[in-house]
Structure 1
Amino acid sequence: MTTEAFAAAKVNLTLHVTGQRGDGYHLLDSLVVFADIGDRLWFDPAPDLQIEVSGPFSDGVPTDDRNLVWQAAELAGWSGRIHLEKNLPHGAGIGGGSSDAAGVLRAFGGGDRAATLGADVPVCLTPRAQRMRGIGDVLDAVAPLPDMEIVLINPHVLVPTAPVFAALESKHNSPMSDVLPTFENADDFCKWLKAQRNDLENPARAIAPQIDVVVEALEDAMIARMSGSGATCFGLYQHGAKAAAKRIALAHPDWWVAAGKLLS
């Protein structure tokens, strides 16, 4: 029988850089959410492990052990045919391969060793709002967030993570509050969110000025910000995300634009 998995886009609504360890790893404090926008996977039993890839971003995706999906299948001890429908752009800072790998581990086990595949894989195992701290290894569930819609935009600009961190003026910044508040509605949530930060946004904008244009295009959102280390940006809406995405896509046909809802 065919098994299916959904690999949701991961969005860092906040990203506070709070320190740097002696081994170079940065310490973070981030509110991570997931959207009903993402890749899809289908698994069929077979004697040998195989991967085939389709979808708008299938070009260049490896179909051997370089792919995190392959590595996750080996970690889970599963063998068979995997069809990966690649709907999320590459190197966009919204989960991508990490979420794909987590989809395999959710289906076949091995989640306790998810961190061996990458720092972002553990948070993707549970695609709902979480607080992520440390180097991504400290995860805490948060109270359910208000129902909200989201627009994701990537201008097809690659922003390498290392130069963004290198350009960060301060590596020791304040975290979010010890206890995150609960929110009665979307207005309260976005008001709180605006008081938080993505410490990587300014250095990423210096490297990729297109991020400025993307955030400006989301001017009708309740809040617009870059996710992670870029270059994907998000806009949160109470209603009307699909209409906003359509308007932006018409104005910028060379961008990847997608609309959906936050997963609760």
Structure 2
Amino acid sequence: MVVTGEAKTGTHALVDYGRAKVNLTLRVVGRRVDGYHDLESVVAFADCADRLTLSTGSALSLETTGPTANACGEVTHNLVLKAARLLAERVADLEVGAFALEKMLPVAAGIGGGSADAAAALRLLARLNDLSFDDARLAEVALLTGADVPVCLASRACDMTGVGEGLLPLSLPKLPAVLVNPNVPVATKDVFTALGLRNGELLVGATDVLEAPVWPGEGASIAEWIAALSEVGNDLEAPAKRIQPVIADVLRALGEAQGAQLARMSGSGATCFALFAVAADAQAAARTIAAAHPGWWVHAGELS
């Protein structure tokens, strides 16, 4: 969890960050009879984020700024407000305030930007109202807000299962990585529709993934993790590439980068990532890709 102190002494403003979520693996076990998809995914978090400020003493509101704010859609539908309203239904006399979201992450990008923002809002409201971060109402609201919000609420590496409610913490080393988004939005609903599973249907070949795999334990090296992650892909990658073929171009650019150990799509796309053994190789790859594709969003950093 990434939490800062107050923005300025005496302003009654609290600040938190919605870190980008990266699905290092993503297996679709099947589609339940209620239409939701059961997943198993190793999730890590990047060192790039949206910034959310909560100013107290005001009615609930949200203002968005930043380079990707215009892509967020109507403020009234923002997950920050949805999470706040759901929590207010469960916590009597919940103190709220004015949220200000500085949107830095790509939107509809497969890195959980909106979910991370909602999770940051819940953490801020918990701090403001002296709620424990393990309060059951926070967990309930997180899942009701969106499938990725529970893992973003913890904002730490996890093996995520079910529809997002199963979270097993993982001891992940800091992984040098490059994230690339071609600035093309991909709707999660469209990707799952393209996957084509009927209600109650298991994904073909899914019988061997009904139990979560055993991932490397405490103290495992970057090489051990990359080897383990290489054994499991992202089942949404193929349908996403059919919707947005540019994803294949992004994966090719990442895979051909010097020092890249693994290149894959995150979530439902279009953001893709490459893992590196050496941070300097990741930085060099990011510079090369950004120069070759100036219209793409490129970030080099660490996943943890």
TM-score range, shorter chain: over 0.9
Pairing 1:210–2:210 present = no
Contact 1:226 1:232 in 2 (8 A): yes
Structure 1 distance, partners of 2:108, 2:81, is 18
1:248, CA displacement in angstroms?
Answer: 0.7
Looking at structure 2, the residues matched to 214 and 135 of structure 1 have their Cα atoms a distance apart, in angstroms, of 28
Higher helix share: 2
Instruction: State the 1:261 CA deviation.
Output: 1.2
Deviates more, 1:43-52 or 1:175-184: 175-184
Superimposed CA distance per residue, residues 28-54 of structure 1 (whole angstroms, 9 cap, x where no aligned partner): 110011011110111111331222221
Say whether residues 1:96 and 2:128 are aligned partners. Answer: no
2:158 maps to what in 1? 130
Letter in 2 for 1:213: D
| Structure 1 residue 162 corresponds to structure 2 residue 189 | yes
**What is the aligned-residue RMSD (CA, Å)?**
1.9
Q: What residue identity is the alignment partner of 2:177? A: I
1:156 partner SS: coil
- Aligned partners of 2:242 and 2:71: how far apart in 1? 28
Structure 2 counterparts to residues 173-184 of structure 1, below 5 A? 173=206, 174-175=208-209, 177-182=212-217, 184=220
Indicate whether 1:119 and 2:147 are aligned: yes
Distance 2:147 2:100 in 1: 24
Q: Name the residue aligned to 1:52.
A: 63
CA displacement at 1:161 relative to structure 2: 2.3
Length-normalised TM-score, structure 1: 0.92
In structure 1, runs of 5+ residues without a counterpart are none
Taking structure 1 as reference, are residues 134 and 258 closer, same or farther at Cα in structure 2, changes over 3 Å only?
same
Query: Equivalents in 2 of 1:15, 1:103: separation in Å?
Result: 24
Q: Distance in 1 between matches of 2:107 and 2:190?
A: 18
| Greater C-alpha radius of gyration | 2
Where 1:59 maps in the other structure, the secondary structure is helix
Q: How many residues align?
A: 262
Residues 212-231 of structure 1: pairs in structure 2 closer than 5 A: 212-218=248-254, 219-220=256-257, 221-231=260-270
Cα distance in 1, alignment partners of residues 54 and 190 from structure 2: 37
Structure 2 Cα separation of the partners of residues 61 and 160 of structure 1 = 13
What is the aligned-residue identity percentage?
47
Which string of whole-angstrom CA distances, capped at 9 and with x for unpartnered residues, describes residues 171-198 of structure 1? 2424275432326211111111111111
Distance apart, 1:63 and its partner CA: 6.5
**Distance change in 2, residues 1:164/1:256 (3 Å):** same
CA distance in 1, matches of 2:247, 2:71: 24
Write out per-residue CA displacement over residues 70-96 of structure 1, whole angstroms, 9 at most, x where no aligned residue: 222332533222211100111001011
2: distance between equivalents of 1:160 and 1:66?
15
Task: Give, in whole Å, the separation in 2 of the partners of 1:98 and 1:80.
Answer: 19
Paired residue secondary structure (1:108): helix
Paired letter, 1:18: V
Where does structure 2 lack aligned partners over 5 or more consecutive residues?
Answer: 1-11, 89-93, 127-136, 197-201
TM-score between both structures, scaled by the size of structure 2: 0.81
